[in-house]
Amino acid sequence: MDIKEISNDLLGETYYEIRHASGLKILVLPKEDYKTTYALFGTKFGSADNCFVLPDGRQFRLPDGTAHFLEHKLFESEEKDAFEKFAQTGARANAYTSFDRTCYLFSCSENVYENLESLLDFVSEPYFTEATVQKEQGIIGQEIKMYCDNPGWQAMMGLFEALYHRCAVNTDIAGSVESIATITPELLYAAYEGFYVPSNMVLCVCGHVEVEKIAAICDAHIRFADRLPATLQLPEEPLQVKEKRVVCTMPVTMPMFAFGYKEQSNGLKSLKERIETIILNQIIIGTMSPLYEALLEEGLIGEDFSSEYFTGRNYAAILFTGASENGELIQQRFEAEVERVRREGIDRALFDCVMKDMYGTMIKSFNAVEDIASEMMESEIGGYGFFEELALYQSLTVEDIEKRLQTKYNTEYAAISLIVPQEAEAKG
């Protein structure tokens, strides 16, 4: 087993990168003075990865929501629910599915190695039957209906539907009641066989642990068959947006908005481009920017306003969301500010403030085991080294950000999604 030690002198931190014989990547950052340990076990398989070919040539188009459905089902076995086992040892367990990954996790202050064994065991032992699948269809169906009633989520999904023609990010992660009704044990086993493969998975652990014990447990409990992962068949996505504006009515008192700028994406964006784009968002409409202060003072936005650089294997877009009666005006003001900054250049004092704030936030995150493990997972899924982001923040200049600005926020590929009260549509 190959164990590589990687240190950062500034942080005084060291993590260990282990390439297990099975192909599993293991990242461990010990924190001897901490009582809590946090572990993430993830696979590079999310809701947008619904078309693939298995090594034996079988092709599949999964129903929408399959990755999320599979996440739920892996907690069950013939013997007992995995949640019960974790509860008996005092651990908190959970899982989540996003567009590009599925992760299983636990946190605990004792019985760390026993909990790690449980995590590896239940993820590596799928158990699906017609009866258990039918039962889960009802449970997840209720979850889907709950998200349908969430205006913030519906605003975002409306934006994805407007931006994307074929990429599956335009479909809810949980799927629909109709799509999950077509999921079968055979399809779940096919998805599992294709993506729950050691070489397609990552284990990240941070806390009061010993690297050698983590490695030994993996030796004893990784029981996957020796096989290759599936080959994804990602659709070609045009740069043009599907729609420029979508409106949905819901029983809300305050309208919601989500607008975004689609970008060409034929693979993962570089870490440098991702960081520079996040910095740009903060400079133009972040909490320290003149525009944010003006919009807040005018009552156009609230503290729930947020921005995101949304990227994955075949998608990229810059997103802005919040609650406001004037979402389209906010977008107009944002685009005007982008043009002003392009003409006049970035305020160096603001750049310095943003960089110090973001750098400080990153340094502070190394005090939390959950943040560390999550960032290790993010770096592995994103294709960069764990300490690389910190090094970038130390090296970026205002000129780098101004150069990046020339390629961002193209209004030709913009769209907006609005959630409005039902009365407002009736008046319109």
Q: What is the pLDDT of residues 149-195, one digit of tens each?
A: 899 999 999 999 999 999 999 999 999 999 999 999 999 999 999 99
- The predicted structure's pLDDT at residue 224: 64
Average pLDDT over residues 136-142: 92
β-bridge partners, 102: 43, 97
pLDDT at residue number 77? 77
Q: What is the pLDDT of residues 401-411, one digit of tens each?
A: 999 999 999 99
- The residue annotated as part of the active site, out of 5, 71, 125, 143, is 71
> In this predicted structure, what is the pLDDT of residue 424?
54
Name the average pLDDT for the chain.
94
Name all domains of the chain by residue range, CATH numbers in brackets: 2-232 (3.30.830.10), 245-427 (3.30.830.10)
Cα 9 to Cα 247: distance, rounded to the nearest angstrom: 51
276 in catalytic set: no
> Given a cut of 90, is residue 316 above it in pLDDT?
yes
pLDDT confidence tier of residue 426, bands split at 50, 70 and 90? very low
C-alpha to C-alpha distance for 238 and 252, rounded to whole angstroms: 34
The alpha-helical segments, DSSP class H, found in 286-386 are 290-297, 327-344, 348-365, 369-382
- The model's pTM: 0.94
Query: Does residue 264 have a pLDDT over 90?
Result: yes
Instruction: Convert the pLDDT of each residue in 94-120 to its tens digit.
Output: 999 999 999 999 999 999 999 999 999
Amino acid at 223: R
What's the confidence (pLDDT) of residue 428?
45
